[in-house]
């Protein structure tokens, strides 16, 4: 079968891959915030719902609660199989469960879907009124807004202080924000593969990705959510994913896996693809079926604006507030958030002794893949919590 014929048999993706009201809930639970959420940039966001999942049992005094924060295209489903309501298996499945580093016999692990996300929490794909979705009217968010929503979730769950806050990549940024803005509620901190502030290069990469989405004709000014299958900004979101995925992996790994080889049966000099291009196409096609383009813009824009020292006297002064036990780790082959950025964090955090290095050929994604090394860091942190 030709590539074109094979592609024709694949069902068109929905306009948005967001979880929607009426979809299977899976393991999710929800909290609706009791009042509108004030936003750092001004205004407020009403009717906020946060989706979350838990593993383990919360102690009567809630002293065993651990907050787990996901990366850009992650969600609350940190552990467990794919199934109804959950398009992918848990992103840290090996680390959560009885006898695992996040031992659910002792700890209660809470993983929320970030505010602005698309897997159950309020975001651009959510209903603003009875039938109208937020779409392009969804407000600009910062990590501080997202952490404020997570703090309201903790209040609703009766958790005044987390035993530990753990996150990687975008989740690591929010973990830092927890430690700086709410040190009294953060018992211990693990920040993985994340910076204190977005660099110019990181903003540039993010801007290229968001431009790809906004210039897709299927974007429709952000009002695409109720379009028929195939009617969303899939090309733009897929292109954004391809760009991002290259930064998630390392050049040596891509070279070793794909070299300059063409995809079997295809000839690049006749319009076919290289194997590495097919690999990127695969990840793009997966994402457009499980994610929302508006959420992607919202979260990348928030990451581009990340600066833990903004309005706090600079990075060193801000991180100086975080005096809880802390571990900072980076991946030695990470080209998205290079290890030098984590070294700067470790030097500025009073509770961190040094930067820890995750050795991996996989680049930034090493913080998700190298579960044995990351699990040892989690166990060490929790021994100090």
Catalytic one among 75, 145, 292, 334? 334
158 burial level (CB within 10 Å; 0-12, 13-18, 19+): exposed
Catalytic one among 234, 307, 364, 365? 364
> What CA–CA distance (Å, rounded) separates 219 from 326?
42
Q: Which of 51, 73, 76, 71 is nearest to 126 (CA)?
A: 51
In the chain, % helix, strand, coil (3-state, to 5) comes to: 40, 15, 45
H-helix segments, the chain: 3-8, 143-157, 170-181, 200-214, 234-248, 251-258, 275-288, 293-304, 315-319, 339-348, 366-369, 371-384
Annotation marks residue 2 as catalytic: no
> What CA–CA distance (Å, rounded) separates 30 from 50?
6
Q: Left, alpha or beta for 31 (phi > 0: left; psi -120 to 50: alpha)?
A: beta
Any bridge partners for residue 326, and if so which? Answer: 189
Q: Which of 280, 218, 213, 215 is nearest to 240 (CA)?
A: 213
Q: Which of 125, 304, 305 is nearest to 223 (CA)?
A: 125
Annotation marks residue 364 as catalytic: yes
Annotation marks residue 155 as catalytic: no
Q: Which of 342, 349, 319, 328 is nearest to 177 (CA)?
A: 319
Catalytic one among 169, 295, 333, 360? 169
Instruction: Give the number of other Cβ atoms within 10 Å of residue 59's Cβ.
Output: 13
Tokens of 147: 């952490």
Tokens of 88: 């992918």
Active site positions, annotated: 169, 334, 364
């Amino acid at each position: 079968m030709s590539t074109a014929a094979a592609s024709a048999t694949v069902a068109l993706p929905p306009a948005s891959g967001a979880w929607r009201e009426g979809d299977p809930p899976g393991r999710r639970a929800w909290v609706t915030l009791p009042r509108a959420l004030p936003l750092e940039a001004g205004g407020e966001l009403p009717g906020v719902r946060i989706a979350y999942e838990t593993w383990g049992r919360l102690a009567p005094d809630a002293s065993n609660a651990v907050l787990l924060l996901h990366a850009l295209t992650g969600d609350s489903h940190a552990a467990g199989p794919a199934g109804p309501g959950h398009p992918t298996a848990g992103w840290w499945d090996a680390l959560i469960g009885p006898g695992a580093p996040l031992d659910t016999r002792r700890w209660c692990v809470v993983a929320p879907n970030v505010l602005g996300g698309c897997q159950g929490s309020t975001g651009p794909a959510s209903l603003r009124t009875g039938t109208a979705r937020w779409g392009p009217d969804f407000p600009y968010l910062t990590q501080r807004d997202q952490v404020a929503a997570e703090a309201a979730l903790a209040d609703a769950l009766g958790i005044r202080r987390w035993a530990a806050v753990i996150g990687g990549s975008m989740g690591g940024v929010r973990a830092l924000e927890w430690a700086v803005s709410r040190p009294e509620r953060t018992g211990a901190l693990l920040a993985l593969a994340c910076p204190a502030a977005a660099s110019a290069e990181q903003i540039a990469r993010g801007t290229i990705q968001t431009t790809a989405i906004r210039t897709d004709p299927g974007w429709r000014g952000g009002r695409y959510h109720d379009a028929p299958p195939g009617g969303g900004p899939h090309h733009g979101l897929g292109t954004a994913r391809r760009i991002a995925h290259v930064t998630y992996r390392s050049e040596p790994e891509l070279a070793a896996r794909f070299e300059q080889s063409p995809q079997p049966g295809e000839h690049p000099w006749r319009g076919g693809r290289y194997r590495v291009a097919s690999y990127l196409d695969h990840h793009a096609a997966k994402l457009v079926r499980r994610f929302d383009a508006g959420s992607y813009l919202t979260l990348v824009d928030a990451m581009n604006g990340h600066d833990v020292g903004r309005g706090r006297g600079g990075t060193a002064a801000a991180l100086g507030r975080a005096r809880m036990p802390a571990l900072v780790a980076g991946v030695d082959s990470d080209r998205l958030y290079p290890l030098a950025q984590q070294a700067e964090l470790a030097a500025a955090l009073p509770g961190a002794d040094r930067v820890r290095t995750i050795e991996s050929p996989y680049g930034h994604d090493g913080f998700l893949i190298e579960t044995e090394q990351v699990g040892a860091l989690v166990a060490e942190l929790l021994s100090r919590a």
